[in-house]
A and B are shown apart, each in its own frame.
Chain A
Amino acid sequence: MVAERTLLSRVTAALLAAAFALPLAALVVRAFADEWRAPAVVPQQFGLRGVHEAFSSMSLEAFGNSLLVAVLTLSAALALGWPAARVLGERRLRRPGLIFGVLALPLLVPSYATATGLTEWFLRFGLADSLLALVLAHLVLVLPYVVVVLLAGFGPALRDLEEMGDVHGLSRPARLWLVTLPALRPTLAAAALLGFLVSWSEYGSSLAVGGGRPMLPLVLLPFVGSDPEVAAALALLFLLPAVAALVAATRAVWEPL
C-alpha cells in the first residue's frame, strides 16, 4: 500500500515536472536552433541566429527599461502597501472591504483599459510618455497584489511581538530591524516576488502609456508568430530576472537568516 502510494506520488511528481519542464525545454532548444521543423524531435540545424537577434541593442534597452520600471514600481508598491496592509491587517478600519475593493478595482478590467484611462489624465498633467507615467500605471496594477499578500503578515500576532519589543526598550528602528522585519520576512518576500513579476510581465499598460518606449514584453510579442527562434531567445532573456527573483524569494521564505 505504502509502496503503491509512493509510486503513484512519484509518477504524479514526474508528470507535473514534465508539464513545467517540456515547454521550457522547447524554448531552450528553439532558442539555439536555426531550423527546427515540426515532426523532428531534434532540430535540423543548431545555431545562434535567434540569440544574436534577441540580444540586439533594442531588446537590451527594453530589458533595462523593464527592470528599472519593475524595481521602481515594486519599491513604491512596498512603501505604499506596507502602511495600507498594516491598517487593513490590524482591522483598524470600519470598512476594510470597501477600501480594498476600491484598491482592487483596476484588476477587474484588462490592464490596457485601465492604462488607457490613466493616459487621459497623464496627458492633462503633462506626464504622458514619461517613465513616471509608466511606473504609476504599473503601480496601479501591482499595489493590490502587494497589499493582499502583505495583509497576511500584519495582525495581532505581529502587534504582540512589537509590543514585546516596546516594553523591552527597543527603539523604533531597532524594533523594525529585530522584530518586525524578521517576522514579516516570508510575507515580504512573497509580496515582492509577486509585485516584481506582475510589473515585469505587464504588457497592456506598457503599450498604452509607454509612448513607444521599448519594454521587454512589447519587444517579445511581435516575434512570437513571425520568428520563433528570436521569440524563444527573448523568452529566455525574459526568464532570467524572473527566475532570479523566484530563487531570492524562496530563499527568504524558507531559509534562516
Chain B
Amino acid sequence: MSEELRCRALTVAPGATAILRGVDLTVPAGTRAVLVGPSGAGKTTLLRAIAGLQEIAEGDIHVGERSMRGVPPQRRRIAYVFQEPRLLGHLDVLDNVALPLRAQGAGRSERRAAARERLDEVGLAGLAGRRVQGLSGGEQQRVALARALCARPRLLLLDEPLASLDPGRRAELRRLIARVQAEHEITTLMVSHDRAEAAELAQHLALMIEGRIVQQGDPRCLFERPASAVVARFFGATNIVQGRVRDGWMALGGGAIAVDGPDGPATVAIRPEHVCVGAAAGVRATVAEALYRGTDVHLGLDLGNGQRLEASCPVARAPTAGARVTIAVAADHVWRMPGEAAAPAGRSPAHVRDGSHST
C-alpha cells in the first residue's frame, strides 16, 4: 500500500521570485521523514506542491512509479493534515472522519464503520456522534488525523499539525503520530520548525533554507555532523569556530582543541552540551553569563581575545557568573565542517562567532 515519494529538481515560482529552488527529496516507502527549517523557508509550499495545491514550475514529483504532474489534488490520494484542523462544522465527528470515503462513493454504513475504526485508533471512539465545535484543539487535530488516514492514502503529509497545541498535548499527539504511522506503514512527510520534535519523529530528516534542502539524512547526522555553519546553527550547534589547524590542533582562547583532518584553515562546530565545563585540564575561561533554563544552565564563556563560547551545563554543577573555569571538548565532539570555506588569511587568531541563542 505504501509508496515511495520522490521530488526531483522541484521549482515553484508563483510570482517573480522562486519559493522552491530545485528541491530533491526522497522518502522511502513506509518511512517517516521530517522537513525542518525556519519560517518562510518554503516547507509548506513543498507540501502543497506534493499535494497538488501549488503549481510547480520545473521538476517532478513521483509517488511510487506515478508522476504527479498534471494530476489534480482530488485524484492524488495524498492525505494532508493542515496546521488547523479544517473540520466541517455541519457534520458530526464520525462524518468528518468519513469524508474521504464519501468522496470515493462508499455507502453510508461502510464509511461510518471504517471511520469508527480510525477514530478508535486516535483514541476518540467515544466522541463519534459529537459536533466538532465542542472539541479541544488536540481532539480536533486527532479527528483531522483520523480523517487523513480514513481512505488509505498512498502518502501522508503533515503540516505542523502540533503547532497550536500546548506542550503536554503536543508530546502525546507526537507519539500518536509515530504509532499510527508505524501501524499503517504509510510513507509520511511532516513539516516542523521544532528541531526537538523533528529529532524525535524523523527517520529521515531534511533541513530547508530559502527554498533549498541544504542537508538531509539520519537525524543524528544533521545534529552532530552539520554540512555547514547554517545547518549547525539551526540544529543548535551554536559554537562555530574558524581557525587554522596545525599538527591536529587548533587554537582556542589561551589553549587549543584537537581537530581531525589535514593542516590548514578549518571551521568547526561544537554543540553547547559538548563543552565540558570544569575539566581537569584545558582552556581557561570566565563565565560571562549564566542563564537558568529549567532543565539546564546556559553559559556564555569568555575565552579572552574577544572569543566567546556557549555551553550547556547540568543545573547541579553549573558555575555562577564571574567564575573562572577550565573547559575541554572531547575530540569526537569537535566537528570539522567539510563544505565550509575557511577563515580568510590574516584573520587569526581563531575567530569565534557568536551563535544565535536557541531555546
> B84 contacts A166, CB within 8 Å?
no
Q: Given the complex, which residues of B lie within 8 Å of A178, measured CB to CB?
A: 88, 99, 102
Is the CB of B234 closer than 8 A to any CB of chain A?
no
Q: Interface residue count for A (Cβ, 8 Å)?
A: 19
> B74 contacts A179, CB within 8 Å?
no
Pairs A–B under 8 Å by Cβ, sample size 11: A161-B86, A163-B82, A163-B86, A164-B86, A169-B103, A169-B104, A178-B88, A178-B102, A182-B88, A183-B88, A256-B90
A interface residue numbers (CB < 8 A to B): 160-161, 163-171, 174, 178-179, 182-183, 185, 256-257
Is the CB of B211 closer than 8 A to any CB of chain A?
no
Interface residues on B, range: 20 to 34
> B74 contacts A160, CB within 8 Å?
no
Closest to A164 in B: B86
Closest to B147 in A: A168
How distant is A253 from chain B, measured CB to nearest CB, in Å?
13
Q: Given the complex, which residues of A lie within 8 Å of B151, measured CB to CB?
A: 168-169
Closest to A167 in B: B80
> B90 contacts A168, CB within 8 Å?
no
Interface of A is mostly: helix
B interface residue numbers (CB < 8 A to A): 51-53, 72-80, 82, 84, 86, 88-90, 99-100, 102-104, 147-148, 151
How distant is B111 from chain A, measured CB to nearest CB, in Å?
12
**Are A169 and B82 CB-contacts (below 8 A) given A161-B88, A163-B53, A182-B88?**
no
A206 and B67 CA atoms in complex are apart in Å by 59
A180 and B80 CA atoms in complex are apart in Å by 19
Q: Given the complex, which residues of A lie within 8 Å of B104, measured CB to CB?
A: 169
**Are A167 and B99 CB-contacts (below 8 A) given A178-B88, A179-B88, A182-B90?**
no
> B86 contacts A169, CB within 8 Å?
no
Q: Given the complex, which residues of B lie within 8 Å of A161, measured CB to CB?
A: 86, 88
> A171 contacts B74, CB within 8 Å?
yes
A183 and B79 CA atoms in complex are apart in Å by 22
Q: Given the complex, which residues of B lie within 8 Å of A168, measured CB to CB?
A: 79, 99-100, 103, 147-148, 151
**Are A170 and B82 CB-contacts (below 8 A) given A178-B102, A182-B88?**
no
How distant is B48 from chain A, measured CB to nearest CB, in Å?
9
> B86 contacts A170, CB within 8 Å?
no
> A166 contacts B90, CB within 8 Å?
no
Q: Given the complex, which residues of B lie within 8 Å of A164, measured CB to CB?
A: 80, 82, 86
> A174 contacts B103, CB within 8 Å?
yes
A170 and B51 CA atoms in complex are apart in Å by 14
A169 and B101 CA atoms in complex are apart in Å by 9
Q: Given the complex, which residues of B lie within 8 Å of A169, measured CB to CB?
A: 74-75, 77, 100, 103-104, 151
How distant is A214 from chain B, measured CB to nearest CB, in Å?
42
Q: Given the complex, which residues of A lie within 8 Å of B76, measured CB to CB?
A: 167
How distant is A175 from chain B, measured CB to nearest CB, in Å?
8
A166 and B73 CA atoms in complex are apart in Å by 6
Q: Given the complex, which residues of A lie within 8 Å of B99, measured CB to CB?
A: 165, 168, 170, 178
How distant is A171 from chain B, measured CB to nearest CB, in Å?
6
Closest to A169 in B: B103
